[in-house]
Amino acid sequence: DHFITPDSEFVKSINKAKEIAKSNHIVTFGIKPTSPETGYGYIKIKPDQFKVEKFTEKPNLKTAQDFLNKGNYYWNSGIFLFPVNLIMQEFEKYAKDLLEKTESISIDKAVIEKSDKIAMLPATFNWSDVGSWNSFYKTQAKDKNNNTILGNTILHNTKDSLILGNSRLIACIGLKNITVIETEDAVLVANKDDSEKVKKIVEDLEKQNKREAYEGVRTLRPWGSYEIIGEGKDYKVKKIIVEPKKRLSLQSHNHRSENWVVIQGKAKITLNNNEYILKKGEAFFIPKKARHRLENIGDVLLKVIEVQNGDYLGEDDITRYEDDFNRK
């Protein structure tokens, strides 16, 4: 998620960093700040040299402005160059049991901020950490009203905004400094300066156990993929795509029945102890608790429309008896 230009300056910085790294240093690339950004980490360097004195993670606006005024703070790009043996030594020293713990922690926190082998090289390239919609907006082309637009949109009296559409028409009237992101299963509307707070929305979705927090509209599986094309309180409609010569697990569901309609290809269906062949346009019903399996026996993609009915439609309502991919 780094936006870097031009390539030639990036290569120059890499070559300089290689020389520093040869003197047994881990080199991080520092970006001279141009504004008091609160979404970036900062590096404080020692006077008259580029040895790192301190790391600060995402300060508040007042502190970020203070860092900007002082002049000896740089944005932490999160790009590192180092000798392999040195970084292994530092991991052994500061994060020996990291793998065993499988802890969710950045390399910065685990090693870089603790090591005394860190040197910072001021970058000569243009850089943006495209970690928020606001930073993405800054890297994109603008129209005459300073808007970045993608997709089917109609704008009236709208300025300084990021409008990204996917499948539906987006109409905006009288907006300024707004982010609108439309996807197949959700729409985000936010003040552009608050776009980093989308993490809070994700946390709320998880607390409320919303499907969107755990499952997208399209989901990849080792046998192919499925797409949710409609759902309600007691039904869900999917388009299932199975790759040639692959099959789903032999499975059952306690809370739902399923109706399958083949729209492309040739399917073999296992229902309890029986097998059936279905061609395009043919349908099949799977009762609750019945053992069943869907298989693509053709040479082209198998496409099936699945309609689920039941009092619970979660993906965890599944018992697998056989699986080609060793899933439980």
Mean pLDDT along residues 158-169: 94
Mean pLDDT along residues 113-123: 84
pLDDT of residue 243: 98
Burial of 199 (0-12, 13-18, 19+ CB in 10 A): exposed
Q: Does 31 share its domain with 120? A: yes
Residues of the domain holding 167: 133-197
pLDDT of residue 107: 75
Highest-pLDDT range among 56-60, 123-127, 186-190, 304-308: 304-308
192-209 confidence digits (pLDDT tens): 988 778 888 989 998 998
Mean pLDDT along residues 19-35: 90
Domain boundary among 129, 150, 180: 129
Q: Tokens for 322, please give them.
A: 């056989």
Q: Domain for residue 257, yes or no? A: yes
Q: Does 92 share its domain with 168? A: no
Q: Domain for residue 213, yes or no? A: no
Whole-angstrom distance, CA of residue 192 vs CA of residue 210:
25
Q: Does 65 share its domain with 114? A: yes
Specify the CATH number for the domain of residue 287: 2.60.120.10
pLDDT of residue 216: 76
Q: Does 242 share its domain with 291? A: yes
- ω before 6 within 30° of 0 (cis)? yes
Domain boundary among 129, 147, 174: 129
pLDDT at 99 over 60: no
Secondary structure of 109-147 in HEC code, one letter for each residue: HHHHCCCCCEEEEECCCEEEECCCHHHHHHHCCCCCCCC
pLDDT of residue 98: 66
Q: Does 141 share its domain with 116? A: no
Say which residues have a Cβ less than 8 Å from residue 6's Cβ, sequence separation at least 6: 125, 126
- The helix or strand, by DSSP H or E, that contains position 30, with its residue range, turns out to be strand 26-31
Contact 156, 173 (CB under 8 A): yes
Domain boundary among 197, 226, 244: 197
Q: Domain for residue 328, yes or no? A: no
Q: Domain for residue 212, yes or no? A: no
242-254 confidence digits (pLDDT tens): 999 999 999 999 9
Kindly report whether the global pTM for this prediction surpasses the value 0.85.
Answer: no
Q: Does 280 share its domain with 175? A: no
Secondary structure of 277-324 in HEC code, one letter for each residue: EECCCCEEEECCCCCEEEEECCCCCEEEEEEEEECCCCCCCCEEEECC
39-82 confidence digits (pLDDT tens): 889 999 887 667 888 899 889 999 999 999 998 899 989 899 99
Reported confidence tier of residue 228, pLDDT bands at 50, 70, 90: very high
How many Cα neighbours within 13 Å face the side chain of 147? Answer: 23
In the chain, how many domains are there? 3
Specify the CATH number for the domain of residue 86: 3.90.550.10
